[in-house]
Amino acid sequence: MEGVDHLADERKKAEFNVEAMKIVWAGSQHNLEVSNRISKLVADDPAFRKDDRTMLPRKELFKNTLRKAAYAWKRINELRLSEEEASKLRFYVDETAYTDLHWGMFIPAIKGQGTDEQQRKWLPLAYKMQIIGCYAQTELGHGSNVQGLETTATFDPHTDEFVIHSPTLTSSKWWPGGLGKVSTHAVTYARLIIDGKDHGVHGFIVQLRSLEDHRPLPGITVGDIGMKFGNGAYNTMDNGVLRFDHVRIPRNQMLMKVSQVTREGKYKQSDVPRQLVYGTMVYVRQRIVADASCYLSRAVCIATRYSAVRRQFGSQNGGPETQVIDYKTQQSRLFPLLASAYAFRFVGEWLEWLYTDVMQRLQANDFSTLPEAHACTAGLKSLTTSVTADGIEECRKLCGGHGYLCTSGLPELFAVYVPACTYEGDNIVLLLQVARFLMKTVSQIGTGKQPVGTIAYMGRIEHLMQCRCNVQRGFAELSADLVEAAVAHCQLIVVSKFIEKLQQDIPGEGVKQQLEALCGIYYLSLLHKHQGDFLATSYLTPKQSALANDQLRALYSKVRPNAIALVDAFNYSDHFLSSILGRYDGNVYPKLYEAAWKDPLNESVVPDGYHEYVRPLLKQQLHTARL
């Protein structure tokens, strides 16, 4: 029934102050206020409609994305939104677009790797969107191995220019978002060649298209790489292919904060580590961790609300059947994901703090925490995106058959999210970086160097102190085990940051108790999943393991009456969730029924193609039957 809250009884069961939990989730009262205002602005504006997205053919879908992005920009200017509000608006519009790369990578790359002079020249143009940029690093032949990129930037001392060239097919840039059809400029990564000497990969600002008629400039071949996984989803993005045929750019378009090329063609390295060329990736990985909690919480919100609406079996004396959320099996799949959504939120907040801290230290020429920042961003990006991608799929299964319908919102959410396990660094490749960092730490403990920060615990492990190891020996052979160790290390960070959060003052009746229960579910479900490792290494006895499992089940029962309120605290509007199963009012069945009739296939009772392909078959069967 319209207007009735089918989940009202569930909401009454909550044992904590939901409004206070909303503030914890949002990060502050201010953040919550901005989120409320901007999400309403988007939800109330029919121009931001997205319920038809999975039905649109690619060209129409893409044009629609261009329209929305332009309209969003118009509203941002009309309403004079701050940077924070504008980025919230893009978040609530919830459509992957070229603007993500413009604001999320092109601008940060110039900020992080450009000199003050370069920033003064390029950033105002980019901020006003008078130029639109992308991040062109990956090539057809190399993505993970950045040092293996083949595009060249050869210095020509006669003209004071770089000549950008794609020497092979595999050197074609391949994948950059926003490149295919929209970007006018690209931060392009290429090998710097001076006087025949290869100085490795550096970033260059290259104009790709005319600012007058948008046609590719001479020497540039550019286009879209084609349809990607799923309907709607990431197909709103123009991931592109790009080739350079001896394209000339002025010398001052090499990003020169980390290293410089002088007018005479001298290569100079600043006093900063060369890894700062990878700085944009560190920034985006940190953002991706914060994003993971948003995606996971969306899926969990849908699955939790639907699990309270859905009933199967267990009717007593003709009474209602059991809500599927009351099955312990459903709880043991759903509640660890609910706990993970909260855990990732807090580790995301901490990682943002760590990143800011590292940036401040870099300003003061203190590079000591850079390796830890790299390991944390790489490792947590890998962990949180893998769990989130698997978690979205688990939520689809938790919704049974209806979860497979596009109107559940889950198929598109999965399709749009799953490349996060690959982009900004393949998750295994990134875990190998963490493993390398851990091995390096172990090798230094033996020499008496005390580890600090997230690896401080390693200095307290007796057998590591005795260890004399070399980073490379046996690394490749043991890499699969080392990746598991890297995951365990990252899990430890997530758990510790959750516990640290609980040590803070958290206002609101019952809020802290709920978070304590979720934290318990988070680490006990991990302990349960990996109990074999804990038993094998004698960190746990079988009795302790059984007790931990009892405790986990007890926590599921504690969270159960609060489950709906805990997902309400994510504060997602129906527009943002875009899911019939996850509707706030739980009015699922009438809305599913209604939506089915809106499908284009139901526009006519007899489908197109019946007369050509179905009727002849039926005729033939009749004829055979008569024989």
Ligand X SMILES: Cc1cc2nc3c(=O)[nH]c(=O)nc-3n(C[C@H](O)[C@H](O)[C@H](O)COP(=O)(O)OP(=O)(O)OC[C@H]3O[C@@H](n4cnc5c(N)ncnc54)[C@H](O)[C@@H]3O)c2cc1C
Judge residue 242's burial from the number of C-beta atoms within 10 Å of its C-beta, 0-12 exposed, 13-18 middle, 19 or more buried.
Answer: buried
Q: Per CB under 6 A, which region of 142-150, 244-252, 265-273, 292-300 contacts ligand X? A: 142-150
Phi–psi pair at 134, nearest 5 degrees: -135, 180
Amino acid 306 reads Y
- Residue 57 host element (H or E): none
Partner residues linked to 152 by β-bridges: 165, 191
Q: Any idea which residue has 């024989």 for tokens? A: 627
* CB 143 to ligand X: min, Å: 2
Residue 54 near which of ligand LEDWP2DD, ligand X, none (CB within 5-8 Å, type-dependent): none
Contacts to ligand LEDWP2DD from residues 8-67, by CB under 6 A: none
User: What span, in angstroms and rounded, lies between the C-alpha atoms of 343 and 354?
Assistant: 16
Judge residue 594's burial from the number of C-beta atoms within 10 Å of its C-beta, 0-12 exposed, 13-18 middle, 19 or more buried.
Answer: exposed
Residue 234 near which of ligand X, ligand LEDWP2DD, none (CB within 5-8 Å, type-dependent): ligand X
342 contacts ligand LEDWP2DD (rule: CB under 6 A):
no
Instruction: Give me Rg for the CA atoms of the chain.
Output: 27
73 contacts ligand LEDWP2DD (rule: CB under 6 A):
no
Output 269 or 620, the one with its CB closest to ligand LEDWP2DD: 269
Phi–psi pair at 394, nearest 5 degrees: -65, -40
Q: With beta carbons less than 8 A apart as the criterion, state whether 324 and 307 touch.
A: yes
Q: With beta carbons less than 8 A apart as the criterion, state whether 134 and 161 touch.
A: no
146 contacts ligand LEDWP2DD (rule: CB under 6 A):
yes
- Encoded one letter per residue, x for contact with ligand LEDWP2DD by CB under 6 A and - for no contact, window 432-471 reads -x--x---x-------------------------------
Cβ atoms within 10 A of the Cβ of 465, count? 13
String of DSSP letters for 277-308? GGHHHHHHHHHHHHHHHHHHHHHHHHHHHHHH
Output 108 or 177, the one with its CB closest to ligand X: 177
Q: Per CB under 6 A, which region of 150-158, 205-213, 319-327, 428-436 contacts ligand X? A: 428-436
- Encoded one letter per residue, x for contact with ligand LEDWP2DD by CB under 6 A and - for no contact, window 374-403 reads x-----------------------------
Of 185, 105, 189, nearest to 149 (Cα)? 189
**Neighbour-count burial for 291-303, b at 16+ CB within 10 Å, e otherwise:** bbbbbbbbbbbbb
SS3 of 111-141: the string is HHHCCHHHHHHHHHHHHCCCCCEEEECCECC
String of DSSP letters for 59-82? HHHHHHHHHHHHHHHHHHHHTT--
Number of residues that bind ligand LEDWP2DD (CB under 6 A): 31
Active site residue 484: no
27 dihedral zone (left: phi>0; alpha: psi -120 to 50; beta): left
Residue 436 near which of ligand X, ligand LEDWP2DD, none (CB within 5-8 Å, type-dependent): ligand LEDWP2DD
Partner residues linked to 269 by β-bridges: 259
Which 3 state secondary structure label does DSSP give 484? Answer: helix
Of 497, 501, 529, 528, nearest to 515 (Cα)? 501
Amino acid 39 reads S
Q: With beta carbons less than 8 A apart as the criterion, state whether 94 and 66 touch.
A: no
Q: Per CB under 6 A, which region of 38-46, 215-223, 277-285, 339-347 contacts ligand LEDWP2DD? A: 277-285
177 contacts ligand LEDWP2DD (rule: CB under 6 A):
yes
Q: Per CB under 6 A, which region of 2-10, 135-143, 163-171, 531-539 contacts ligand LEDWP2DD? A: 135-143
Q: Per CB under 6 A, which region of 169-177, 346-354, 440-448, 525-533 contacts ligand X? A: 169-177
- Token output for 177: 């978002």
621 contacts ligand LEDWP2DD (rule: CB under 6 A):
no
Contacts to ligand LEDWP2DD from residues 282-301, by CB under 6 A: 282, 284, 287-288, 291
104 contacts ligand X (rule: CB under 6 A):
no
* CB 392 to ligand LEDWP2DD: min, Å: 16
Q: Per CB under 6 A, which region of 139-147, 447-455, 574-582, 584-592 contacts ligand LEDWP2DD? A: 139-147
Q: With beta carbons less than 8 A apart as the criterion, state whether 192 and 153 touch.
A: yes
Q: Which of 95, 150, 372, 424 is catalytic?
A: 424
Residue 419 near which of ligand X, ligand LEDWP2DD, none (CB within 5-8 Å, type-dependent): ligand X
Beta strand 161-165 pairing with 173-174: unpaired
Residue from the set 64, 119, 137, 188 that interacts with ligand X by CB under 6 A = 137
Residue from the set 370, 389, 398, 493 that interacts with ligand LEDWP2DD by CB under 6 A = 370
344 contacts ligand LEDWP2DD (rule: CB under 6 A):
no
Output 422 or 549, the one with its CB closest to ligand X: 422
Output 330 or 377, the one with its CB closest to ligand X: 377
Output 161 or 291, the one with its CB closest to ligand X: 291
Output 152 or 408, the one with its CB closest to ligand LEDWP2DD: 152
Q: Per CB under 6 A, which region of 41-49, 130-138, 535-543, 616-624 contacts ligand LEDWP2DD? A: 130-138
Q: Any idea which residue has 């969107």 for tokens? A: 129
Residue from the set 66, 125, 429, 469 that interacts with ligand LEDWP2DD by CB under 6 A = 429
Output 372 or 393, the one with its CB closest to ligand LEDWP2DD: 372
Helix axes 542-559, 328-363, angle to 10 degrees: 90
Query: Among all residues, which ones are annotated catalytic?
Result: 424
Contact residues for ligand X, defined by CB under 6 A: 101, 135-138, 142-144, 175-177, 234, 239, 419, 422-426, 428-429, 432
